[in-house]
């Protein structure tokens, strides 16, 4: 019979003396040293996200934060110390993780470089949320394993706030450490990325209690009490992995007969306006004329052309004259000139060969706008000091449209649109109904069969942000139970099934002497995967997140507090 080791044996195996020395060193840090270590722990935690997915690093970072809070909770100014440590940890996490925001100010440095300091405001503001929540939470800090669950719940609340406050910025939520399309990621179909983030935070804080070397706090529960958060998390994630693996195993990739052509000319963002004629010509060439057997639908990325396409008859005629019987989904800017002052919208339009005469078959105006990229907060004040939007076609910023709704056009499956930044937001799309409901009998809106996500990832720079943007989009497919076709300018373009698996990916740039230097065009013909029955999350949204939060909170109450 194999002998099992208790948590106390585990600490001895690792080296109890070494752990005690490390714990004491971390706990006793103060001032700038505490801030520096917390910042480093947060910065390194970014290795847990795409493309590396080294998720144990995040758990180690949170363990350091727990042990630092142990020290400040016993100090003279526990609230101030807790705020400082959580703020610095979050500043490292968000400052490194959101480095790509600064690249947007470098696209046209002559115009925007003077405002690059604004890129620092985002991580600082989000770090203030973490610091403020932990400052309140420290009032209920204790010596036992219950504290790690308390911190996990508190950080989840902070993440919920940063995902919703002032429109929200839910980039790299903690649940994103699990690669989409894998077994654990399938649980997002039950309670979304926020529910998965809650469980992840609690699980990742657990080792801080398991490896706690103090011997004077074992009266209630002893070594087994320390292990409860880790054991419970292991059981929960084990069940999630087993359920997700079975779900994937029972659901082989199923493709429909609908085919699409994804087109991106790969022009650097800084050159799109300088070489606007070349941009238009290359999109026409890559789209090609209609031939038998070609996909019946073509998709271009967000802001594909540097024109007000729907209001430029000459450009619109050149775009649509080769379509034949095909449809084109393209990102463009639309300007409402009937209003004073005029309003510009970041739009997605469905076009056919008669668009010059009849206009767009369908048009969607982007609902969630990127602060300072598309939307300039306090427009009048910003205009007085010269701050404009980064989008060249809307220097005063875009205006927001209504929430996404299902778009229908003849000859193509009904779909839900998401433009760029909108793919970060779980629950933005309308709730799905059971497929058995008859739309005509009930007078309901048509049922979507797939998602379309167009984006400009040329703003994000050359590092890992374009890859991470694709991973966010894959989670939306899992949550909704709908396949997605994604076309991103100089980003990751491809087709994703309803379980978050990539079925086709535009990889190598087209090697064509017609390409200007530095351009990386990509072309992909692929089939659209089949949709599946509405998911639990697609029907009930965050109801199960709050039930999960209540369950975790009740579990914390029964854990030893000393």
Query: What's the rounded mean pLDDT across residues 134-147?
Result: 92
Q: Decide if 81 is inside a domain.
A: yes
Residue with tokens 């669950």: 149
Q: Are residues 334 and 222 in the same domain?
A: no
Q: Decide if 277 is inside a domain.
A: yes
| pLDDT at residue 391, rounded to an integer | 57
Q: Is 187 helix (H, G, I), strand (E, B) or coil?
A: helix
With 0-12 / 13-18 / 19 or more C-beta atoms within 10 angstroms meaning exposed / middle / buried, residue 386 is exposed
Per residue in 340-379, pLDDT tens? 677 889 999 999 999 998 889 999 999 988 776 665 554 4
558 pLDDT more than 90: no
19 pLDDT more than 90: no
Q: Are residues 376 and 282 in the same domain?
A: yes
Q: Decide if 538 is inside a domain.
A: no
| C-alpha span between 343 and 391 (Å, rounded) | 14
Distance of CA 51 to the CA centre of its chain: 13
272, 327, 343, 366: the catalytic one is 366
Q: Are residues 72 and 209 in the same domain?
A: yes
Q: Are residues 444 and 330 in the same domain?
A: yes
CB atoms within 10 A of CB 337: 11
Q: Are residues 240 and 337 in the same domain?
A: no
Contact present, 198 and 173 (Cβ < 8 Å): no
Q: Are residues 299 and 240 in the same domain?
A: no
Q: Are residues 63 and 178 in the same domain?
A: yes
| C-alpha span between 38 and 84 (Å, rounded) | 9
CB atoms within 10 A of CB 188: 29
Domain membership of residue 151 as a residue range: 7-250+543-557
Active site residue 403: no
Q: Decide if 59 is inside a domain.
A: yes
| pLDDT at residue 381, rounded to an integer | 42
Q: How confident is the model at residue 274 (pLDDT cuts 50, 70, 90)?
A: confident
Query: What's the rounded mean pLDDT across residues 253-263?
Result: 94
| C-alpha span between 440 and 415 (Å, rounded) | 18
302, 361, 422, 471: the catalytic one is 302
Q: Are residues 233 and 201 in the same domain?
A: yes
385 pLDDT more than 60: no
Residue with tokens 């309670």: 191
The DSSP code sequence of 105-151 is TTSSHHHHGGGGGGGGHHHHHHHHHHHHHHHHHGGG--SSTHHHHHH
Q: Are residues 454 and 485 in the same domain?
A: yes
| pLDDT at residue 378, rounded to an integer | 46
Express the helix, strand and coil content of the chain in percent, nearest 5 each: 50, 15, 40
Distinct helix (H) and strand (E) counts, the chain: 20, 11
DSSP category for residue 347:
E
Per residue in 412-433, pLDDT tens? 999 999 999 899 999 999 988 7
Q: Are residues 222 and 169 in the same domain?
A: yes
Count: domains in the chain: 2
Q: Strand pairing of 522-529 and 415-419?
A: unpaired
Close Cβ partners of 492 (under 8 Å, ≥ 6 residues apart): 457, 466, 467, 469, 470, 486, 505, 506
Q: Decide if 281 is inside a domain.
A: yes
| C-alpha span between 191 and 433 (Å, rounded) | 17
| pLDDT at residue 17, rounded to an integer | 77
Q: What is the CATH number of the domain that holds 396?
A: 3.60.110.10
Query: What's the rounded mean pLDDT across residues 503-530?
Result: 87
pTM (2 decimals)?
0.90
* φ and ψ at residue 489, rounded to 5 degrees: -65, 115
Q: CA torsion 397→402→405→409, rounded to 10°? A: -60
Close Cβ partners of 46 (under 8 Å, ≥ 6 residues apart): 93, 96, 97, 172
88, 205, 420, 548: the catalytic one is 420
Q: Decide if 211 is inside a domain.
A: yes
| C-alpha span between 67 and 24 (Å, rounded) | 9
Q: Decide if 562 is inside a domain.
A: no
| pLDDT at residue 2, rounded to an integer | 46
Percent of the chain whose predicted confidence (pLDDT) is above 90:
59
| Cα atoms in the 13 Å half-sphere on the side-chain side of 134 | 33
| pLDDT at residue 517, rounded to an integer | 85
Active site residue 3: no
Residue with tokens 């103060």: 30
Comparing C-alpha atoms, which of 95, 233, 270, 309 is closest to residue 555? 233
Active site residue 548: no
Q: Strand pairing of 362-365 and 415-419?
A: unpaired
Q: Decide if 536 is inside a domain.
A: no
First to last CA, the chain: 34
CB atoms within 10 A of CB 6: 13
| pLDDT at residue 422, rounded to an integer | 95
Q: Is 485 helix (H, G, I), strand (E, B) or coil?
A: strand
Q: Are residues 391 and 429 in the same domain?
A: yes
Apex 264 CA angle, 258 and 266, nearest 5: 160
Lowest mean pLDDT among 39-48, 244-253, 337-346, 457-466: 337-346
Comparing C-alpha atoms, which of 378, 370, 423 is closest to residue 398? 370
Q: Is 327 helix (H, G, I), strand (E, B) or coil?
A: strand
Q: Are residues 262 and 343 in the same domain?
A: yes
Considering only residues 343 and 112, tell me which one the structure prediction assigns the higher pLDDT: 343
């Amino acid at each position: 019979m194999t002998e099992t080791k208790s948590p106390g044996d585990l600490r001895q195996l690792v080296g109890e003396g070494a752990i005690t020395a490390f714990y004491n060193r971390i706990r006793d840090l103060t001032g700038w040293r505490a801030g520096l270590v917390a910042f480093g722990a947060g910065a390194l935690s970014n290795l847990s996200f795409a493309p590396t997915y080294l998720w144990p690093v995040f758990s180690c970072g949170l363990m350091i934060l727990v042990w630092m809070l142990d020290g400040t909770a016993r100090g003279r100014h526990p609230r101030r110390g807790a705020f400082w440590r959580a703020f610095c940890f979050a500043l490292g996490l968000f400052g490194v993780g959101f480095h790509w925001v600064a690249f947007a100010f470098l696209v046209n440095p002559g115009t925007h470089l003077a405002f690059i300091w604004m890129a620092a405001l985002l991580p600082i503001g989000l770090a203030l949320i973490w610091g403020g929540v932990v400052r309140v939470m420290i009032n209920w800090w204790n010596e036992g394993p219950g504290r790690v669950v308390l911190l996990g719940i508190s950080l989840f609340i902070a993440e919920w706030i940063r995902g919703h406050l002032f429109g929200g910025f839910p980039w790299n939520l903690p649940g994103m450490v699990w690669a989409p399309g894998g077994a654990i990621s399938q649980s997002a179909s039950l309670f979304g990325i926020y529910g998965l983030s809650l469980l992840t935070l609690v699980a990742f804080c657990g080792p801080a209690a398991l490896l706690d070397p103090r011997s004077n706090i074992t009266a209630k529960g002893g070594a087994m009490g320390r292990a409860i958060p880790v054991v419970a998390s292991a059981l929960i994630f084990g069940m999630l992995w087993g359920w997700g693996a079975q779900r994937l195993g029972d659901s082989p990739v199923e493709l429909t007969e609908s085919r699409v052509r994804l087109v991106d000319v790969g022009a650097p963002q800084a050159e799109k306006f300088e070489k606007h004629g070349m941009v238009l010509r290359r999109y026409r060439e890559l789209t090609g004329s209609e031939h038998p057997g070609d996909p019946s639908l073509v998709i271009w990325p967000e802001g594909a052309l540097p024109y007000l396409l729907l209001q430029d008859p000459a450009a619109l005629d050149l775009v649509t004259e080769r379509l034949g019987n095909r449809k084109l989904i393209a990102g463009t800017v639309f300007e409402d000139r009937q209003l004073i002052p005029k309003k510009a919208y970041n739009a997605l339009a469905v076009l056919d060969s008669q668009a010059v005469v009849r206009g767009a078959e369908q048009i969607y105006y982007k609902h969630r706008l990127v602060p300072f990229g598309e939307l300039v907060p306090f427009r009048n004040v910003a205009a007085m000091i010269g701050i404009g939007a980064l989008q060249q076609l809307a220097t005063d910023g875009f205006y927001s449209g209504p929430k996404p709704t299902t778009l229908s056009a003849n000859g193509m499956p009904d779909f839900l649109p998401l433009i760029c930044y909108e793919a970060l937001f779980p629950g933005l799309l309308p709730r799905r109904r059971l497929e058995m409901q008859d739309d005509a009998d009930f007078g309901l809106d048509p049922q979507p069969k797939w998602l379309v996500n167009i984006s400009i990832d040329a703003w994000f720079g050359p590092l890992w942000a374009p890859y991470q943007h694709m991973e966010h989009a894959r989670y939306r497919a899992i949550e909704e139970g709908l396949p997605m076709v994604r076309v991103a300018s100089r980003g990751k373009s491809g087709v994703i099934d309803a379980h978050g698996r990539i079925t086709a990916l535009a990889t190598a740039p087209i090697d064509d002497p017609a390409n200007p230097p530095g351009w990386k065009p990509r072309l992909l013909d692929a089939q659209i995967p089949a949709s599946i029955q509405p998911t639990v999350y697609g029907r009930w949204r965050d109801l199960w997140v709050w039930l999960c939060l209540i369950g975790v909170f009740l579990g914390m109450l029964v854990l030893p507090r000393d």
